[in-house]
Amino acid sequence: MKAAEVSAKQISSKVSLKKRFRQNWDCYLYMAPYMLIFFTFTVLPVVMSIVLSFTYYNILEPPQFIFLDNYRNLLATDDVFLLAVKNTLIIAVIVGPVGYLACLLFAWLINELSPIVRAVMVVILYAPTLSGGAYTIWQVLFSGDSTAWINGMLLNFGLIDEPIQFLTNADYMIWICIIVQIWMSLGAGFLSNVAGFRSMDRSQYEAGYVDGIRNRWQELWFITLPSMRPQLMFSAVMSITSAFSVGDVTVQLFGNPSTDYAAHTILNHISDYANVRFEMGYACAIATVLFATMVGLNELIQRLLRKVGQ
């Protein structure tokens, strides 16, 4: 049945491309307003970024083509970039998977609560992401005063003798960044998972129990996850994006550049070169590297997710 459908579609697409175009030419008209804006302000910037990454460009003079020099400098001479890559990877390796699993785990756990409690929990868990700049409150919590929240508490319990400078001490900064980032990791992917669990078909579970599904884990792996694969893929895209685009948080909490570059991320490096040094070509090269990493990783993870439940 399905195979026949597919082949029919293939044949029709091969035979009558011209006819399809003639019958549907008005579609382009309807899409034009959105696509024009979308391509100008979303796609074109990425293409331009890739092109500019092969040039020296300081905004005042026209770009000079320097081929791969930017990339060579990036990898060979820019120690701070390598540090930024290291920091970004540490953050992404922890925040990405933890955030992704948290999106799934909490959606799964709150699925069994009563509707009202579930609605409240969804608001509570989603609020940190929803509320854009709320993370600045962590600055107050982690402040270096002896009367600040966390320092005050630690002093009170006698765990430390003098306040720790959380926001300027290189030993702590990256971990604070990770905590805040995890706090903000339940985003659109989480909502997608919640909705996915909510719309699960009960009869599938009952069929599963007859089949000998014995506990929650088996239920999750053999029934729930396979039918939620589309949501899992969407949530993976969201997690990868947010894990690699850490930047605002570090600027807000530690400043840019941070002490000893201890919390310097790739995004910070981009804005350093773009907004402070005006080396646009170089900044674009950094952006291109970041972007390529994200797209490549996404491809890999989508492939892995196709194996869930098999």
Partner 1 sequence: MEHAKKIDAPIDPSKIKVSKKVFNPGPARSRWGNVCNFLFLCLVGVFMVFPLVMIINNAFKPMDELFLFPPRIFVQNPTLDNFSNISVLMSQSWIPFSRYIFNTVGTCAVATFFHIIFASLAAYVLEKRDFPGRNVLFKIVVVSLMFTPTVTAIPNYIIMSKLGMIDTYWALILPYVGSSMGLYLMKQHLSASVPTALLEAARIDGASELRIFRSIVMPMVKPAWLTMMLFSVQSMWGITGANMIFTEAKKPLSYALNQIVSGGIARAGAGAAVQLIMIAPPILIFIVTQTQVLDTMASSGIKD
Please tell me whether residue 72 binds partner 1 under the rule CB under 8 A: no
Residue among 15, 160, 199, 308 that touches partner 1 (CB under 8 A): 199
What character string, x for contact with partner 1 (CB under 8 A) and - otherwise, covers 167-186? ----------------x--x
**Given 35, 101, 160, 308, the residue binding partner 1 (CB under 8 A):** 35
Name the minimum Å distance from CB 129 to partner 1. 8
**Which residues lie across from 56 on neighbouring strands?**
64
The site for partner 1, by CB under 8 A, has a size of: 111
Structure tokens at 297: 């990783």
Distance CA 259, CA 176 (A): 14
Closest to partner 1 by CB, 69 or 170: 69
Interactions with partner 1, residue window 237-276 (CB under 8 A): 237-238, 240-241, 244-245, 247, 267, 270-271, 274-275
CB 190 within 8 A of CB 107: yes
CA gap 49, 45 in Å, rounded: 6
Out of 84, 95, 173, 213, point to the residue binding partner 1 (CB under 8 A): 213
Report if residue 7 touches partner 1, rule: CB under 8 A: no
Considering only residues 96, 99, 196, 257, which one is a binding residue for partner 1 as defined by CB under 8 A?
Answer: 196
- 284 belongs to the binding site for partner 1 (CB under 8 A): yes
Q: What is the DSSP string of 95-134?
A: HHHHHHHHHHHHHHHHTTS-HHHHHHHHHHHHHHHHTGGG
Establish if 134 lies at the interface with partner 1 (CB under 8 A): yes
Decide if residue 106 touches partner 1 (CB under 8 A).
yes
Q: Which 3 state secondary structure label does DSSP give 140? A: helix
One residue of 8, 11, 15, 48 binding partner 1 per CB under 8 A = 48
The answer to whether residue 283 forms part of the interface with partner 1 (CB under 8 A) is yes
Q: Is residue 195 a contact point for partner 1 (CB under 8 A)?
A: yes
Q: Name every residue whose Cβ is closer than 8 Å to that of residue 171 and which is 6 or more positions away in sequence.
A: none
Other Cβ atoms less than 10 A from the Cβ of 227: the count is 14
What tokens does 19 get? 């006819």
Q: How far is 223 from 103, CA to CA, in rounded Å?
A: 18
Which one of the spans 69-77, 81-89, 225-233, 254-262 is the region binding partner 1 (CB under 8 A)? Answer: 225-233
Percentage helix, strand, coil for the chain under 3-state DSSP, each rounded to 5:
75, 0, 25
Please answer whether residues 247 and 268 qualify as being in contact, where contact means their C-beta atoms are separated by less than 8 angstroms.
yes
> Is residue 71 a contact residue for partner 1 (CB under 8 A)?
no
Contact between 65 and partner 1 by CB under 8 A: the answer reads no
Interaction of residue 77 with partner 1, rule CB under 8 A: no
Distance CA 149, CA 141 (A): 5
Residue from 8, 75, 82, 109 touching partner 1 (CB under 8 A): that is 109
203 binds partner 1, rule: CB under 8 A: no
Nearest to 223 by CA among 248, 236, 245, 206: 206
d(CA 48, CA 297): 22
By CB under 8 A, tell whether 33 contacts partner 1: yes
- The least CB distance from residue 113 to partner 1, in Å, is 8
